[in-house]
Amino acid sequence: MSVTAAEGFVAAGCHAGVKRRRYDMALLATDDGKPVPAAAVFTQNKFFAPPVDVSRSRLQANGGRASAVIVNSGNANAGTGPAGKADAEAMCAAAGEALGVSAEHVLVCSTGIIGTPLPIEKILAATPKLAKKLSKEGGEDAARGILTTDHKSKEVLVEGPGFTLGGMAKGCGMIAPNMATMLAFLTTDAAVEAEEMQAILRDASDRTFNTLNVDGATSTNDTVILLASGRRGRPDLAAFANAVHKACEDLTLQMARDAEGMTKMVELRVTGAASDAEARAAAKNIAENNLVKCSWYGGDPYWGRLLAAAGSSGVAFEAEKTSVSYGGITVSRAGTNFDHDADAVAAHMKQERIEIEVALGLGQGSARVVGIDLGPGYIKENSKTS
């Protein structure tokens, strides 16, 4: 019950009929219906879905307060125009009525296929039933209700000094820096103001969710929401920020491990760049390069592909100052081969988690990206999605 582990929260999940058989709706709410401080980070895609517009507008209008979040999976309600926004508003209204709270304090999220109208009648019919199922034990069902092509639920629990932080997330494809086709919901019983949480959540997202790059695609619906009941009083703010970061990091790695077709998870670091921004640009270009990703799938330490991707990323680059290492073993220096223990590198490449550093030798800039390989599983999944 990770997302309901903190005092003051209940949740539920159900099958409404958006999908054929699996759970496709979730509801997260305060146990007394009262609005609590809320913070959120949304997609940076300008082609954002109506639920993003509705939730963002609500938080701006009410000063960062929420009593509940209603979610459907299987349909993103994106690319659906004014009708899609009306459907998102209707979901908030239905949840508010079922819970006896103001619709202005209900947030909404959707995830799934783009460009298809919501089966709104099924969703509205299921909402009262979903509200009646709300319980402290409903976190696991809620975590199931938000999944799309995920193979497993993603939950996290962090016990801080004097507070609890729990969460759930979904996401395994269409994932790039600046979040992804991912939703994440965090709850805490710490007493933290919305403005404080917003800064903490933004920083944690930048260092975790925004480092994950599965396929270079930034979704229309990305949303991370943090709610605080305040039931256990004021926390040490630094300890709370560390807990939020820890929870987001855990969920990020769970998404990476569950990525569509994934067989290798790669922690890629670009160091020695002219600036952090240039390091991020180089890391992104490397992690999204299909030749690089295929070499990861094959367990091939093909450092030339890494440097080629870095060199074409538009950042400052001088081959004679570079070096590349796999698992801490240098395989290339000054833009050419470097004598190394090939057996040790091969053994590292067989692991599920690979560590790579590309050092540019030009400055102090650095960046980290979590990427995955590219193999038949990803192609199979995404050739039939729509």
The whole-angstrom separation of Cα 93 and Cα 106 is: 8
Region of residue 335 (phi > 0: left; psi between -120 and 50: alpha; otherwise: beta):
left
Edge to edge, the sheet with strand 365-372 lists 212-213, 365-372, 265-273, 353-359, 323-326, 329-333, 336-337
Q: How far is CA 131 from CA 11, 28, 110, in A?
A: 8, 9, 17
Q: What is the rounded CA–CA span in Å between residue 19 and residue 74?
A: 6
Q: How far apart are CA 369 and CA 66, in angstroms?
A: 32
DSSP class of residue 219 equals: P
Q: What sign does the CA torsion over 360, 362, 368, 369 have?
A: negative
Catalytic, 181? Answer yes
Residues 6+ apart with CB under 8 A from 224: 40, 41, 179, 182, 183, 184, 185, 186, 201, 205, 209, 248
Query: Which listed residue (4, 148, 164, 181) is catalytic?
Result: 181
Q: Name the residues annotated as catalytic.
A: 181
